[in-house]
Structure 1
Amino acid sequence: MPEPKSADRFVTLPGGTRVCFRTDGHAGGTPVLLIAGLGEDLTTWSPRFVSALTATGFLVIRMDNRDSGRSTFATTPPPNTLRQLLSRPRRDAYTLADMATDAAQLIEHLAVGPTHVVGRSMGGMIAQTVAARHPALTATLTSLYSTTGDPTVGQPAASTKALLVSPPPRNRLQAVRAHLRMTAHLAGTGYPIDEAEEAAHAVETWNRTAGDGASGMARQIQAIQASGDRTAELATITAPTLVINGNRDLIVAPSGGAATAAAIRHARHIVIPGMGHHLPDSLAPRIADHVIDHLERALI
């Protein structure tokens, strides 16, 4: 399914980060902010997922996180492999709270009022932090295949760790191959990937990336590590919360979703059989139905 036809827009936030974002749907619609995961850009969201939201009347806002897509890439050195393996971030690391501030300031810039915040994987961690630290801007929270930062839950499988330390791609062809390899590994058993669709997405991501993608991802991993265990902070969230994860996730173990739901008072938790750590077009309508139901409950 083709990408929704919306143009990249840019804003320089008060903290100096230049954020690229897109909006889809009616300008007066209820706003939904979609926050992508580690190393992902705003095009990662399934077109069917975006279209399902806009068809229901929502204004969909997608953003490139710092160090991804066409947003600002940090000038600080990335952590080396040893620091990442030992979870010892550099002193100049930014955090999930900094990334959540980017999201909150984008909401304020757009002047759309309280916004439904939806995040996947690392984006789920950012969305959780938005809900905790910027409650007045958060209408609801949806956390997709994410976790709390507690090192005893949500950990990647050994097979995934091996893939994560593979040499980064140096050209577009290598990027496509790496994306197909990782996505096939993470997709789960119930929703296999469409290789042509995924290859096209990998090409688009490569072409849109405005900086060194490998360094950006390393700094994003460092942001997660620098933020530590956020369980206590999650307990302060008051926004209606939906937690969704699959039972076949090889990078954020399903225990991460369970811990997230347990930490947030009155959170609803849905586990999708056969779902891994990916949201392909084939799964998008099912996830969209759950998310739309969650958002509409909050509007009643």
Structure 2
Amino acid sequence: MPRAQANGLELEYDTFGDPAAPPVVLVMGLGAQMITWEEGFCELLASRGFHVVRFDNRDAGLSTWFDELGTPDLAGIIAGTARAPYLLSDLADDTVGLFDALGFAKAHVVGASMGGMVAQQLAIDHPDRLLSLTSIMSTTGDPSVGQVSPAALETLTKPAPESREEQIEQSIANYRVTGSPGYPATEEYLRRKATRNYDRGRHPVGMQRQAAAVVASGDRTERLHDVRVPTVVLHGDSDVMIDVSGGKATAAAIPDAELVIVPGMGHDLPEPLWPDIVAAIVRATERA
């Protein structure tokens, strides 16, 4: 896969569809690699007349890692006694740097989980570069909404085992906690997904630095009131990683945003829901 020089670092990316079609850039979440946007999903979206781009955020997958910045002091960041290595605004700048590298004056942006936060930040910091915004299973940064359940919090904070086999098993167990109860995945699918993620570039300390960026970036609610790009907000009613209140707050903060609550959906993108998710993205693009 190709790499782009963007914002002083390298971003691994992949594309689907006609390069002459309107671009849709997919931003993935905390510690997640771009392959979490599965090829079938990207191809389905591209078939609706788009040039689809997925990429690895900094500190994830095959993009630049920032290991020289060390492990962040999350407790200190929460207490205000330590600083995060970088912020969500830096990840938004990375995304704009990818736009520049690929020659996009503007693009439709779709973000999932932390990627939704990055997409929101992009709409705040670079409103002239967005055609539309789709925020999936995300939140505004307001600590009173979008809370993580105790079981999901345990999956986030559990130390990574040392061996490959143990890390794969841990990932499978985590997927079972955070996945969609209305659309349960098979054991074979979860094992294949966990194995592929580990072998391609699982990077737990990079996820910690991304988490520090989320915590340190604070509440975007007031600034989201000024967003004027066509917006769709999707959220599962069974999300234990980011409670559905986070999606409701996002839609309430952005003027004229469409809110879609998906029954049975958790904190993943199950294949049976791909047509509905793509349809919502298309509605945002049509409003643009």
Query: Smaller-chain TM-score range?
Result: over 0.9
**168-177 vs 262-271, greater mean Cα deviation:** 168-177
Pairwise mapping of residues 98-137 of structure 1 onto structure 2 (< 5 A)?
98-137=90-129
Amino acid at match of 2:272: S
Tell me what 1:4 maps to: none
Pairwise mapping of residues 20-39 of structure 1 onto structure 2 (< 5 A)?
20-39=12-31
Structure 1: distance between partners of 2:9 and 2:104: 20
Q: TM-score, normalised by structure 1?
A: 0.91
Structure 1: distance between partners of 2:106 and 2:16: 17
**CA deviation after TM superposition for structure 1 residue 92, in Å:** 5.1
Pick from 182, 207, 210 the counterpart of residue 174 of structure 2: 182
**CA deviation after TM superposition for structure 1 residue 195, in Å:** 2.4
1:162 maps onto 2:162 in alignment: no
1:144 maps onto 2:136 in alignment: yes
Pick from 253, 265, 268 the counterpart of residue 275 of structure 1: 265
- Is contact 2:146-2:242 (8 Å) kept? yes
Pairwise mapping of residues 125-274 of structure 1 onto structure 2 (< 5 A)?
125-209=117-201, 213-274=203-264
- Is contact 2:26-2:55 (8 Å) kept? yes
Q: Which 5+ residue runs of structure 1 have no aligned equivalent? A: 1-7
Structure 2: distance between partners of 1:149 and 1:87: 16
RMSD (CA atoms): 1.7
SS in structure 1 at match of 2:69: coil
Pairwise mapping of residues 37-76 of structure 1 onto structure 2 (< 5 A)?
37-74=29-66, 75-76=68-69
* Structure 1 residues 158-204: Cα deviation after superposition (integer angstroms, max 9, x where no partner): 12112222121323322321221111111132111132222222222
Pick from 64, 70, 75 the counterpart of residue 77 of structure 1: 70
- Is contact 1:46-1:281 (8 Å) kept? no
Structure 1: distance between partners of 2:142 and 2:134: 19
Structure 1: distance between partners of 2:39 and 2:65: 26
SS in structure 1 at match of 2:13: strand
Q: Percent identity?
A: 38
Tell me what 1:291 maps to: 281
- Is contact 2:84-2:212 (8 Å) kept? no
- Is contact 2:133-2:284 (8 Å) kept? no
Amino acid at match of 2:3: F
**CA deviation after TM superposition for structure 1 residue 57, in Å:** 1.7
**CA deviation after TM superposition for structure 1 residue 205, in Å:** 1.6
Amino acid at match of 1:226: A
* Structure 1 residues 212-251: Cα deviation after superposition (integer angstroms, max 9, x where no partner): 7111010000000110111112112111000000111101
